[in-house]
Amino acid sequence: MAEYRIGSKITHELLEGEVIAIHFDTGAYYSLRGSAARIWECLAASAGNAPAIAATFEGDASEVGNAVDVFLRSLAEEGLIDEQSASSESVELDNTVAKLPFETPVFERFEDMRDLLLADPIHEVDDEGWPHVKA
């Protein structure tokens, strides 16, 4: 069974129930809300797999597990998470947390700040200051 971890080129923040994740290699940023935010929180807590993450939600375990698996693969395709082989050192998720109702997880991708996010402020700064990106 595959396990996933948040990629090394990703930074993220949970703000009022919404996760904002930024991919520094592509300059895209993402909004994850509802079930998607809960899945991301599980990934941030430890390596995760679909069945373990699905167990944090209410509903039919098989249906929720399949939907979580599809969502995890879509995050991996975006380069937000990395798939790895399951290891015996995996951390179990805290099952004492209240289960949430499940809704199909989705994320939104934005690229309107791509050029700014891809600018390297340490190396691109000159006498004009930042963010004056060279052509």
Q: What is the pLDDT of residues 45-80, one digit of tens each?
A: 987 899 999 999 999 999 999 999 999 999 999 999
Q: Give the global pTM.
A: 0.79
Phi, psi of 82 (to 5 degrees): -110, 135
Cβ 24 vs Cβ 10: under 8 Å: yes
Q: How sure is the predictor about 44, in pLDDT bands with cuts at 50, 70 and 90?
A: very high
For 113, phi then psi, to 5°, come to -110, 20
Q: Which sequence spans correspond to the domains of the chain? A: 2-118
Q: For residue 18, which of 43, 39, 4 has the smallest C-alpha distance?
A: 39
